[in-house]
Structure 1
């Protein structure tokens, strides 16, 4: 077989080029192999190449003033200009190494290649090959990086991978990520590890007190963390040294760090060496602290010398090579304390070091270059066979109609049907605590205290036990385990048993136990705000636990710290005494809810409305008898109240009492004996001469007179809904200030003819506030629950007595009204220091819109805090159609009856 490897540079030191050379060397005895290097920067390749391999350089850049393309007659000045220009084949945003001169070299060679297979090793090279190759060669792309965490090269990879015959990755996790990204356009994706370099590797005796690592001295390798970890244990290991091989732009920083830590005689930076095998034989421990890796060759090479490895569990290779406690130790990503503890353990426990060293050597045997070369021959042959029958297609998978699998979850998502978010949250915490209790003696819970999720904390040493326990406890099927996107790993979700078992191979520090957010394509009622986070804290060499990230309290917990019993979300847990106390960032006062409601379908109420209009003076009667002021569309009931109340029950269980203010009407489905809700007639809070009233502005002026009403409360229209779980802190500050949610719409200039009553009220509000404070209002408020304070409304009633009294006694909306609760109080609060501007995700939906069905379906994504379904006189559908659409939506969004519903 004629096989070519396309690399960017053969002359430099790098894992990608070395892997390609190793593969080529292993294949050279039985195949015609060519190594194509886009650039030539040295007199000879950095790594040894079998003499039977043909080596071709496309661009010679050894002389920066006179670069050249072999076989192309270019003046030196022109060649230099091209080399300084950006590549068109591979733009800089894809890969900054390519230049215009590289384009010339690639265009000269690739279209005329006579190969059976061409292997590319970076996304940029893949892009060039797909664009320039003749139709015959099979294209196999080897992805050498953790694809999910690429900072560059992702665009060409995802663009051109579907047009390759095969994409090879190092790990199943990388394969899953590729399938998820490409879907039906995926080519064949195979998992093949890198081989070990050919040649003899001497075994280490593991008795030399040296920790050895190697790599480019760049930020991604995070050698600074390794040096800091060594500094934590240096005094305990006076005979040990740390030796870091490699060159790079971070060398100066590392030297300064070594000096700052006083380790100038303990940490060595000898530079790069051509052959690391003798150095591994001198090592007793190898350490890897990279932020990301593909399939780290230094781990393979160290294991081939029988050296155990302490490695961060970074994406994505170390977990596939290092078996914790078998051939090395995995450490939580980025944990300096965890790496220090692992190094100390390997250095001080001779028996462990030798046992893991033996396991490392056995592991390395599977990476024999000739064995892996045979696997590649099989991949190449299969791809050629497929090519003869199909030719090169833009997407072979699409042409075949074959969908590729995504990440496995271990089971079908199950909805927590019939359970409220509060009940699901309690269940998730209870099961997490049960698993923690079975697996650790040191667990505790950090309460959420009004923000985020409660956090169950365990030592990292108990991580395996927790994951095993949570998978075997019989956790309800509506709860899933989520491995969040972190440290280069993409997010994964699955059943606690399936995903928990898979995660036991790693050492990532966080998982979440939570309901499935989607079931059969629909966002679930409990899909948000019901998570429980589980964190695994590494243990410092001094004995205390170290947090994997920030939290409101501490980054370390001393051993034997006293814990106390505490109740969180109805679950008895243990926590630290400080964490059991309320914080300054949460609301600790009672909050009530007030609704105003009318059943416009009630014939007695409608007769009273008509009689009230008829009793007004003629001019007044004609003024108010408009659709905006008294038309029946303002009072039509589609059972919105039932579902709005359900939204409070589902998403704000912290509400103390709900007051329903009506003219005396009571919904037929409402259980008046339920202690959480109380009906308040207008006559109980409004003056007799103001009744009967059909003016919401008038009713608003008196709601703060409700007997027993809390100081802090929320005013709902019956077409306001909570869209997902919220906390009191969304609506009030911890000090009790009221939130104000502004709409984008302005109230415009005053006194424009034909304006609706709500806008006239807004202008009246502005005039009164400007006269009192010398400031003007500009924007309308969002249609969301209004946060109010009884004392502030009492103050407004006294300070603006004439305007408030006139509004109270206006039976229908009039030109002199003020909108006390839906605008005036909020702006007054901003001017007097009792309110603050806030933000929330709000949606206003006019149900008269012709695309109502589509809009309601969008809302089912449940990504809004509040929404309003506003009615209108002119509908885009027939009335029956609108009613059906709204009713279907309500039942889907709020399927769980509240306890005050009869029969609920």
Structure 2
């Protein structure tokens, strides 16, 4: 069998080059092997290559001139560094147009039985340029999610390979899920340890060794900081970091900062790490991400006790925590320091871990790994040769296949029917706190206040908590989320599915939350979860936060001496965490609706009589037409949206002309029915003018100072907090729209007439000119602001109150005037809201309504019109179906 390897360069120093040289040298004992090195920039390779292997240097820049077959030196020099044309330049910043020319000449004449690519960009080129009779095997040598070029080339071209080999099981599972039925054979294959004599460590020298390129991803400053935390408690111990790179000055500066110049050594790179590992008693790795780090393999083969930051792939797949090494939470310098101190002061622990490491390293023996690779290659060649179509083109014909079901979609029977977001949050906290109680005594809860609820446990309880979670009776609508971190994609599943994959790691965060997708659509419960954090114990005995913390970065173990109520459950916490914070609203907030049943014949007869007496613009359809009073039952769904997404609302005041929705239980303690006669003067009744009704809403008895004003065609779209609508000081948010008031007399629409009146009043009072209208959202209001406006502009407000239909002299008190007045007097501020307006008269109304089911807006409005593009009965049906899907849970005030 003829085997060819294709890689960016075989000449450099690094994990990929080392792994390929080791593998190629081993294969050369049995097969004809050749290496295609895209670039050569030095005379000799860093790693010794078997003389039996043929190396093809496609771009030779090792001398004074650049040489590429078929090009003159000046032509080659002109192309060097020019963006490539055969691939997207972002897929691999190191490949250029010169590589295009060289690869386009070399790959079509490859005669090997199997070609092995080692980067996604080279895989994409191989699938397009290598002869169809050649089998393709792709080897990923890094964590794919960490590639600066992203995942596109791997996900696009992997289906055209015969085999894709990933270094760890999580990486293989991720790729299989992404590709679904279009996945090729995917195998998990670790790298072999280079052959040769390896001296063993006696683990009795006071020396910690780390090795690798000095670059940001390796985070060696963390290692120096951690060593500094315990250096005084480890007299005689030294830290030695081998390697070179752009972060060398940063590491040196960190050493100098801690005054450790006599304890920390930076000797640079070495060609004999096997000897250096044998001198060490402890090895440390602090990388942000790794594929399958050779430094851990080599250290373990030498019998060194290893401590490493946990990574989504690599260290976690190699090290079994506290069996053949130690894992600590990513980025936790305190935990790293504690692990170093533990190893330095416990020789028996070093010996136990070191001996287990030697046994683990035997599984990476070059002979056993080579045998496995030979089987994979032979199987790929045989299968490829038996194929009638050669290279797969399925993804070109049909696009990249998708997995059968999104990993974030609820399985059958896990919809959470009838459950509200508040109930889901309560269920998640109840489950997590019950399990926490079973596994440790010193857990506590960080209450949400104006943020999210966090349940905190010691890292030492992590495995027991996960096991307890897997064994508990979890509501089927709840899922377990292993969040995205460091570019590695999130994973989600049931506890029984996901916990086995999480137990061996040292990740600090898990989320217990409802499945975000149900039947392909965002769930009503999406985002209503509980964050669980495990805090590492530092050398000071405290628990240290894995990241940004709201109250404290570290707390004493067992010091949570207070209790508080979160989601109706009493939970342990710290006294300082019980009190409200300056970031949260602590005042009551009510909601006011104005509503009318336009199909009521008694009400409609009164409207007709009143309209017969009206004059001027009151007679226009925009001011008094039937479309202004059409009721499709939206109020029920709008009030449901409050029940689901704003359970903090105190009282809902429904203002009507003596009408009561048939479905509404008016005896419910959170509902207050208000008649127009209770708030408007007798001579203003009956009224059919929303502007007039708005002038009196602040007179509702018992109304809170801060309240939200909603029309029945306005809905909350997802969970909301009071702080979205008000500041803690009570200032009301306003949401300007892109609509303009326009020049005087430019438009006859009643709401613009009112905007013009508002403008005149504010010009006279404050010397300003208003320009914008406001979005038709829930309108945050202050009762005192409305009272002040009614007093300052009494003539105009009273005239509006007595206009039975919309008039050209109206003010629009709650939808425009109060907002501008609040901005000018300090009672309001410009807020931010994700908002959608659906024009029900539009021809594409079905598409617009369907988009609401994506639940990607804080609120939305369904705007009616007198002229409809679709039949009214069709629109009515579409609205009902959409709103019922959006708000499927009945509120407690419904009959």
TM-score band w.r.t. shorter chain: over 0.9
How far residue 851 of structure 1 moved from its aligned partner, in angstroms, is 2.1
SS in 2 for 1:390: coil
Q: 2:249 aligns with which of 248, 252, 257?
A: 252
Q: 2:848 aligns with which of 842, 855, 859?
A: 855
Pair 1:471 & 2:470 matched: yes
Paired position in structure 1 for 2:749: 756
SS in 2 for 1:93: helix
SS in 2 for 1:391: coil
How far residue 832 of structure 1 moved from its aligned partner, in angstroms, is 0.6
Return the alpha-carbon distance in structure 1 between the equivalents of residues 838 and 406 of structure 2. Answer: 37
Paired position in structure 1 for 2:258: 261
How far residue 845 of structure 1 moved from its aligned partner, in angstroms, is 0.7
Paired position in structure 2 for 1:481: 480
Pair 1:832 & 2:825 matched: yes
Contact 1:186 1:395 in 2 (8 A): no
Contact 1:243 1:267 in 2 (8 A): yes
Show CA shifts across 1:636-688 (max 9, x none).
11111111111111111111111111110111111121111011111111000
Contact 2:164 2:185 in 1 (8 A): yes
Return the alpha-carbon distance in structure 2 between the equivalents of residues 413 and 272 of structure 1. Answer: 58
SS in 1 for 2:225: helix
**Alignment gaps of 5+ in structure 1:** none
Paired position in structure 2 for 1:795: 788
How far residue 414 of structure 1 moved from its aligned partner, in angstroms, is 0.7
Change in CA separation of 1:779 and 1:185 when aligned onto 2, cut-off 3 Å? farther
Return the alpha-carbon distance in structure 2 between the equivalents of residues 182 and 81 of structure 1. Answer: 39
How far residue 411 of structure 1 moved from its aligned partner, in angstroms, is 5.7
SS in 1 for 2:8: strand
Paired position in structure 1 for 2:515: 516
How far residue 91 of structure 1 moved from its aligned partner, in angstroms, is 5.6
Contact 1:313 1:333 in 2 (8 A): yes
Change in CA separation of 1:517 and 1:701 when aligned onto 2, cut-off 3 Å? same
Show CA shifts across 1:450-471 (max 9, x none).
22x2001111111111111112
How far residue 4 of structure 1 moved from its aligned partner, in angstroms, is 0.8
Change in CA separation of 1:411 and 1:299 when aligned onto 2, cut-off 3 Å? farther
Contact 1:121 1:141 in 2 (8 A): yes
Return the alpha-carbon distance in structure 2 between the equivalents of residues 851 and 103 of structure 1. Answer: 47
How far residue 208 of structure 1 moved from its aligned partner, in angstroms, is 1.5
How far residue 312 of structure 1 moved from its aligned partner, in angstroms, is 0.9
Return the alpha-carbon distance in structure 1 between the equivalents of residues 388 and 214 of structure 2. Answer: 46
- 1:39-58, aligned counterparts within 5 Å? 39-58=39-58
Q: Number of residue pairs matched?
A: 892
SS in 1 for 2:141: coil
Paired position in structure 1 for 2:859: 866
- 1:210-225, aligned counterparts within 5 Å? 210-225=207-222
Pair 1:338 & 2:329 matched: no
SS in 2 for 1:678: strand
Contact 2:420 2:889 in 1 (8 A): yes
Pair 1:117 & 2:128 matched: no
Return the alpha-carbon distance in structure 1 between the equivalents of residues 847 and 195 of structure 2. Answer: 62
Show CA shifts across 1:767-809 (max 9, x none).
1111111111111111111111111111101100110000000
Q: 2:372 aligns with which of 358, 372, 375?
A: 375
Paired position in structure 2 for 1:312: 309
Change in CA separation of 1:878 and 1:81 when aligned onto 2, cut-off 3 Å? closer
How far residue 819 of structure 1 moved from its aligned partner, in angstroms, is 0.3
How far residue 353 of structure 1 moved from its aligned partner, in angstroms, is 1.2
SS in 2 for 1:836: strand
Show CA shifts across 1:354-402 (max 9, x none).
1111111111111112211222222222222232213333545788998
Pair 1:566 & 2:564 matched: yes
Return the alpha-carbon distance in structure 2 between the equivalents of residues 721 and 46 of structure 1. Answer: 66
Change in CA separation of 1:806 and 1:352 when aligned onto 2, cut-off 3 Å? same
SS in 2 for 1:508: coil
Paired position in structure 2 for 1:67: 66
Q: 2:240 aligns with which of 219, 243, 246?
A: 243
How far residue 187 of structure 1 moved from its aligned partner, in angstroms, is 2.9
Show CA shifts across 1:57-109 (max 9, x none).
2232222x32223x54624x444333354443456433232344433433332
Question: CA RMSD for the aligned pairs?
Answer: 2.0
Return the alpha-carbon distance in structure 1 between the equivalents of residues 369 and 395 of structure 2. Answer: 26
Paired position in structure 2 for 1:441: 441
Q: Which runs of 4+ in 1 moved over 6 A?
A: 397-403, 405-410
Pair 1:386 & 2:372 matched: no
Return the alpha-carbon distance in structure 2 between the equivalents of residues 330 and 222 of structure 1. Answer: 16
Show CA shifts across 1:479-506 (max 9, x none).
1111110134311111123212321111
Q: TM-score, normalised by structure 1?
A: 0.96
How far residue 403 of structure 1 moved from its aligned partner, in angstroms, is 6.8
Paired position in structure 1 for 2:591: 593
How far residue 197 of structure 1 moved from its aligned partner, in angstroms, is 0.7
Paired position in structure 1 for 2:173: 176
Contact 2:127 2:391 in 1 (8 A): no
Paired position in structure 1 for 2:104: 107
Paired position in structure 1 for 2:496: 497
Paired position in structure 1 for 2:891: 898
SS in 1 for 2:761: helix
How far residue 854 of structure 1 moved from its aligned partner, in angstroms, is 1.9
How far residue 271 of structure 1 moved from its aligned partner, in angstroms, is 1.5
How far residue 324 of structure 1 moved from its aligned partner, in angstroms, is 0.6
Return the alpha-carbon distance in structure 2 between the equivalents of residues 124 and 37 of structure 1. Answer: 14
Worse-matched range after superposition: 160-169 or 266-275: 160-169
Show CA shifts across 1:491-548 (max 9, x none).
11111232123211111110111111112212222223x2110111111101111111
